[in-house]
Chain A
């Protein structure tokens, strides 16, 4: 009974809470014990049971009083990238060890205002830099899915790997994620859950540890498309503290889920057919296309000619912004400071602190960013990448102007791979994981990953839908139709 409660979707739990069939405290206790039994996944890295119980009691009081906002009483996990007041928020980095924010991020504060219950903080790649959750100071997250009876530990994807594993393993009903190049959608696809990155500016970035500010967006990671609609609504909206957050009304996304996509025009971009793409991904994509056609959508072949250049542009722009954003970690104001030797001055303090505090991938990206921004290379690398970015966005603008409502692509080039399998590959091999998702960040568009099938080894595979800016409601509805047609209901067998 207890463990069944954790399997509920947000929508089911909300309805049962409102019907007073279950209390938030019961739901919360069920999740807390599921988390306690799931240490092997290494998804939750800071546990906040006292906060959770307090919030659950408060939610139960609100429910009793008939005041039940969207997330009232629903237990969720929060990615370690979100600053949460008085609770460790270290972006999975050693350099933020011991940091206890004096403030609450706008997204988590909105979720709490909407009644959500925080169970704890979730593991991730350090500073959200990674695609396999292997760069975290807390160690790897393990995917609850396995290849049949093979016990090889698989990656949940990254950077929101803890969020993905926790939702897939029913440790929480949903989780927050963030996505700079695919960090919500790729892990969602690797774990058989739903993840949406909204339009840039839909969710406030205030209080979210910055990686690449022109690309970062928060979003929900959930068991169903309906849940994504519910939670995205609670996370969205204008925030005067983030000048890039959009002052636009937030529609009732859930109310837009009719499942009716008759007459919608779905684009299939030919550039997403990559050399060496596994046949299973090709088949999944073709199946998804057929499902949308059967649901009444018109399918149209489209071209996004600059797709190939998205990853190289991203690997200039994101490290450049990161090198600037991460300059704040200097050992002076918060976090780790290296022990200094006799006679060390302030430069040694900076250099030792940052060498000790940042892991290898973060150091690499900060230095690449420093290089592409340095005198003599700024135009050749950084400005060129920003011009290519403008072309990538123009590709999408033209396609949407031509009447396309949404674009269907694979979410990832493969199913989840083994932890450590990419260890000997060069960094660029790992970067290729984001090949289908990164264009969406560069163009600031909403994108959603929906579980749509399994590979031969029994691992989930996801499809991605890309929508027009600010039309998350329409995008969610198309995703809802795809979800219904695909009928993905598989769950990982519990081994942890």
Chain B
């Protein structure tokens, strides 16, 4: 399978990474190299094998469904590039 520059553009869009149009052919070529390498997996007989979900056969711990933390607005906003009046600020989302 070969990835066209248009597919590379679609993937970049999905990943929310701006890629200039002139960079797309090189990006598509890199994808092709990597995906070509990955294609080897098609040689493996995986009939009847379940996809691994956990590498250690352990049950994830459950915790009580209670509030254990909170009141940290200042700490949470401290690293924000733009925070105003106790909120994260972003460009206009809805016209």
Contacts and interface: CB of A to CB of B under 8 A. Distances in A.
Interface of A: 98-100, 102, 199-201, 214, 240, 243-244, 246-247, 306, 308-309, 311-313, 315-316, 323, 327, 330-337, 340, 344-352, 354-355, 358, 363-364, 366-368, 370-372, 374, 381, 383-391, 393, 426-428, 431, 442-444, 469
B81 A347 contact: no
A384 B11 CA distance: 20
B33 A351 contact: no
B69 to A, nearest CB: 10
A456 to B, nearest CB: 31
Contacts of A243: 60-61
A383 B51 contact: yes
A441 to B, nearest CB: 9
B52 to A, nearest CB: 4
Nearest to B10: A374
Interface in B31-73: 31, 33-35, 37-44, 46, 49-56, 58, 60-61, 63, 72
- Per DSSP, chain B at the interface is loop
B17 A340 contact: no
A367 B31 contact: yes
Contact of B38 (A327, A349, A363, A381): A381
A309 B44 contact: yes
Contact of A240 (B34, B42, B63, B92): B63
Interface string B65-95: 0000000100110111110000010111100
A306 B55 CA distance: 16
B82 A333 contact: no
B30 interface: yes
Contacts of B82: 337
15 contacts: A99-B79, A308-B40, A309-B40, A311-B37, A337-B81, A344-B91, A368-B31, A370-B14, A371-B31, A372-B38, A383-B51, A385-B41, A388-B41, A391-B44, A444-B56
Contacts of B92: 345-346
Given A315-B37, A386-B53, 18 more contacts: A102-B72, A201-B58, A247-B61, A315-B34, A334-B81, A335-B81, A337-B82, A345-B91, A364-B27, A366-B15, A367-B8, A367-B31, A371-B35, A384-B44, A387-B49, A387-B51, A390-B51, A443-B55
A370 B15 contact: yes
Nearest to B57: A469
A435 to B, nearest CB: 12
B66 to A, nearest CB: 13
A315 B41 CA distance: 11
A200 B12 CA distance: 32
Contact of B78 (A102, A315, A384): A102
A443 B38 CA distance: 19
Contacts of B90: 332, 346, 349
Contact of B50 (A336, A390, A469): A390
B56 A469 contact: yes
Contacts of B15: 323, 354, 363, 366-367, 370
Contacts of B35: 368, 371
Nearest to A347: B16
Nearest to A363: B17
Contact of A312 (B14, B19, B37): B37
A405 B51 CA distance: 27
A102 B75 contact: yes
B62 to A, nearest CB: 9
B11 A388 contact: no
Contacts of B61: 240, 243, 247
